[in-house]
Structure 1
Amino acid sequence: MSVIHQSLSTSISSSTSAFLGHRYLKSIKSSDVSIPGRINGVVKCVATPSTEKTVYKTTVSRNENMGKLQAGYLFPEIARRRAAHMLKYPDAQRSYALSTVEGYTGYGAEQGEKQLRASIAKTYYENLGIEEDDIFVSDGAKSDISRLQVLFGSKVTMAVQDPSYPAYVDSSVILGQTGQFQKDVEKYGNIEYMKCTPENGFFPDLSAVRRTDIIFFCSPNNPTGYAASREQLTRLVEFAKENGSIIVYDSAYAMYVSDDNPRSIFEIPGAKEVSMEVSSFSKYAGFTGVRLGWTAIPKELLYSDGFPVAKDFNRIVCTCFNGASNIAQAGGLACVSPEGIKAMHEVVGFYKENTDIIVETFNSLGFKVYGGKNAPYVWIHFPGQSSWEVFSEILEKTHVVTTPGSGFGPGGEGFIRVSAFGHRENVLEACRRFKQLYK
C-alpha cells in the first residue's frame, strides 16, 4: 500500500507527468533528432529603434530601464563576431555537428536553434503570420513567465483569471507590481482578478474588468480545464485593443483541445497587435523535468512609443539565459517531426482517457464536475467546504493527493483539482478509493 501511496502522490496531484511517450518515440532514429552545434547568423542583441511604419501601438510604456542598456550583451556579440569570422575563414573549423566531440561548441543561440524555431513556427503557427524569428525557445513556459515580468518591469498593472496558475501572481509580487496581500479577500492589492466560475461560464465579464497593462490568460485553463471559445477570445482581443493592453496567452495545453475552440490566440484577427503566446512541450510529450518551451512574440506587438516588444525580450533572453540545453532541443525537434507529432497525439490521447475515467467517477458520485474535455484537469465542486478541508479529508482517508482549489486564487475556494497525469493503474486505483470514500 505504501508504494501505491507514493506513486499516487506524484501522479494525481501535480502537473508533472511520467514520460509515457517513450514507447511511442523510441522508433525515431537518432539521425532524425540531431541539431547542429552551431548556426549561422546569430542574432545580435542590440536594441535599435524601429523605422517601420506602424498601424497600431499598445498604450503600455516601455520599461525605461531597457533604454539604459548599452550596446549588445557581451556573449551574443562575441558569438556574432565569431560567426562572421568563420564565414570569412571557413576552413578554420571543419565540423559543427553536435554529435561529435570535435564539433560540440557548448552554448548555442540564446533564442534557440534555428531549425527548431522554424519547425515550431510551421507546426503550431502555420498560416497565422508567426515566423521563425518570432519564436524564442526556452527552458519552459514557467521560466518565460518570469522573464516576461522582468521585461515589463515594476510599474505595469496586471490582470489574471481567478482561479489561475499561481506563477502569474507570484512573479508579479516578486517584481514589485502589487500591493500587500489582503487577508480578508485573499487577494493582492493592485492585481485585477478576473472572476472565472461556473456562474459566468469560466470566462470573465470584461465589462466589469478594469483596464490593466498586462492580461495573463490561459486556455485551456489550469486549473479549471475550461477552453475559451473563438467568440470569447475575440472579445478578449477587442478588449485589449480598446485598452491598449498586452495579452500574455498561455497555450500550454492547446493540444488537448478536441473541438473548434482556438489552439492559439493568433487565430483571432488582430491578436498579433496585442498578444504574445507562451507554450511548452511538458504536457505534450511528457517533457516535465526535461524543460523545453517557447514564447512567440509578433513583430506587430509594439510599446506605446512604437518600440517592438520582441526586441526588448530578445535582450532579456540574451542577458538572463544561455539557451535551452542542446539535448532538450534535439528532443524538441524530434517532437515536431511527423513521427513525433503522431506520438504526442497518442500521449495526449492516453491522458484524455485518464481524464474521462476521473470525470465519470465523480459524476457517478453526484458531484458537479467541470473541465476534463479539453484539458487534463478535472475541477470538482464541494459546496460549503473549504478546499483545504477537502484536500485533507481525501489525503487522510484515501492516501491520494489532490490539489486544493484555493491555491489558484480566491475563485478556487470550494473546489479541488484532480490531474489526469499518471499511470493508468494509479488513476484506476485512485478512482476506486474516491468511490469508496464518497459512496
Structure 2
Amino acid sequence: MIRPNMYYNELKDSYLFYNIAQKTKAYTEQHPGTELLRMGIGDVSLPLCDAVIKALYEAVQDQASKTTFHGYMPECGAPFLREAIAKYYEKRAVHLSPEEIFVSSGASDELGDILDLFDRSNASLVIEPAYPAYVDANVMAGRKILHLASGEENSFLPEPTEEIEADILYICSPNNPTGAVFSRSQLQAWVDFANQKGAVILFDAAYEAFIEDESLPHSIYELKGAKTCAIEICSLSKTAGFTGTRLGYTVIPKALKRAGMNLNDMWVRNRTTKTNGVSYIIQKGGAAVFTEEGQKQIHENIRIYKENAKVLMKALDQLGIWYCGGKNAPYIWMKCPEGMGSWEFFDYLLHEIQVVGTPGEGFGSCGENYFRFSTFGAPEDTKEASERLVKLLSR
C-alpha cells in the first residue's frame, strides 16, 4: 500500500495568499461593483521593457527557421545568458565563472529544489518574519526548522549567536516582508558564522535591484569568505517584470564544499537529472535585461515603484506610524495602529476603505501586529490608497 508524504499533515491549513484571496472574493461578492485597491501580493503592474520584448520577438522568429531553431537548451542554462550574468556581477567586483551560474525558472522554484543538496537530518534556520515558502518547503521535506525571532529592537535584522544550531541558514536581503537590508558588517557576521559552523547560507537576493544605498551589499559574494559558505538565489520577476514569464538564476561557487562533496558538481547532476532547462525564447529575453539598454529600461520601471514607496512612506510619516523598508526595497512593513492584530487590521482596511494589504501574521508569529504593503501597484492606485489610509487613521 502506497504511503504518501505524511509531512504534508504538518503544514498550516492554507497558504497566506490563498486566505487573502478568499477574503477579498467574499467581500466583492457581497459588494458587487466595488473596486479594491490591491497593495498586498507582490506582483508587478508594469509590462516587460522594450529591450526584453524585442529580444523575445527575435527569439520567436529564430524558432521559425531551420537554421536558427533551438530545441532542448543546456539544463544549467544557455552560455550566452550565464556569461551575461557573470558580467553583471563583475560590475560589483564579484568574479564568477559562467559555470557557477545556473539559470532557473524563478527563485521560488529554486528555493524548494535546492534542498535536494542537503541531508534530511540538516536543520534549517528561518529568520522570522519570513517568506512562507521557506518554512513550507522544509516542512514538506521533513526537516527540523529553527525559528529566529526578529523585531523592532534589532530593526528586523538579527545577529547570529553561538546558541544557533542549524546547518541551512535562510537570509533574505532586501527582506520580504520587512524591507530591511543587512549592512556589510551585519551580513559579514553571518558569513563568518556560517564558515565557523560549517553551515550553508541560502541567500535570497530577489530584490537586490531595489537597493539605492550603495553602502549596502547587493550580493553576498561582496563579503569576504562567502564563496565557501553561500548559495545565492536571484529572480528577474521583480527586477525586470518576469512574474509571468518566469526566469531566475542560482549561484553556487565551485569553492563551496561540504563533507568532501562539491555542491556545484552536485547541482549540475541535479539539474541534468531533474530538468530540461529553460526555454530558448525566455533566456533570450532574460539576456536582454543585462544589456546596457535593458538595465536602463528596467531601472526606469523600478523608479516608478520606488516613487510608490515614497508616497506610502509619506502617508505613514504623516500618521506617525512606525515602519521599515521602502527606501531600499519594494515592501513597507508597518506597525498596526492601536495595537490591532494583523488580520484584524486587514479586515478593517478591506471593509472601511477597500484597500488590500498583507497581514504580518502570515509571515510568522513575529508579524502578529504588523502589516505589509507592496509598492508594485499602479501609481494612481497607490496615491488613492495612501489618501484613504491617512483619512481613515487620522480619525
TM-score band by shorter chain is 0.7 to 0.9
| Contact 1:276 1:297 (8 Å CA) reproduced | yes
SS at match of 1:15: coil
Question: 2:85: which partner in 1?
Answer: 120
Deviation at 1:369, TM superposition (A): 1.5
- Separation (CA, whole Å) in 2 of partners of 1:314 and 1:398: 51
Q: TM-score, normalized by length of structure 1? A: 0.78
Q: Does 1:301 align with 2:267?
A: no
Q: Percent identity?
A: 38
SS at match of 2:161: helix
Pick from 87, 108, 111: which aligns with 1:142?
A: 108
Task: Give 5+ residue unaligned stretches, structure 1.
Answer: 37-96, 179-190
Q: 1:33 to 1:263 in 2, by over 3 A?
A: farther
- Separation (CA, whole Å) in 2 of partners of 1:273 and 1:99: 44
Question: 1:109: which partner in 2?
Answer: 74
Q: Does 1:17 align with 2:47?
A: no
Pick from 346, 370, 388: which aligns with 1:433?
A: 388
**Superposition map of 1:115-194 within 5 A:** 115-126=80-91, 127-178=93-144, 191-194=145-148
Q: Does 1:326 align with 2:246?
A: no
Question: 1:357: which partner in 2?
Answer: 311
Q: CA RMSD in A?
A: 2.1
**Superposition map of 1:331-350 within 5 A:** 331-350=285-304
**Superposition map of 1:23-422 within 5 A:** 24-25=50-51, 29-30=54-55, 34=59, 98=63, 100-101=65-66, 103-126=68-91, 127-178=93-144, 191-207=145-161, 209-259=163-213, 260-304=215-259, 306-382=260-336, 384-422=339-377
Larger radius of gyration: 1
Deviations 1:347-371 (A, max 9, x none): 1111111001011111111211211
- Separation (CA, whole Å) in 2 of partners of 1:416 and 1:32: 40
- Separation (CA, whole Å) in 1 of partners of 2:44 and 2:196: 39
Opposite residue 227 of structure 2, the aligned amino acid is K
| Contact 2:203 2:233 (8 Å CA) reproduced | yes
SS at match of 1:247: strand
Q: 1:31 to 1:224 in 2, by over 3 A?
A: closer
Q: 1:264 to 1:270 in 2, by over 3 A?
A: same
Q: 1:164 to 1:33 in 2, by over 3 A?
A: farther
- Separation (CA, whole Å) in 2 of partners of 1:35 and 1:125: 30
- Separation (CA, whole Å) in 2 of partners of 1:152 and 1:117: 25
Task: Give 5+ residue unaligned stretches, structure 2.
Answer: 1-30
| Contact 2:74 2:277 (8 Å CA) reproduced | yes
Deviation at 1:31, TM superposition (A): 9.4
| Contact 2:56 2:284 (8 Å CA) reproduced | no
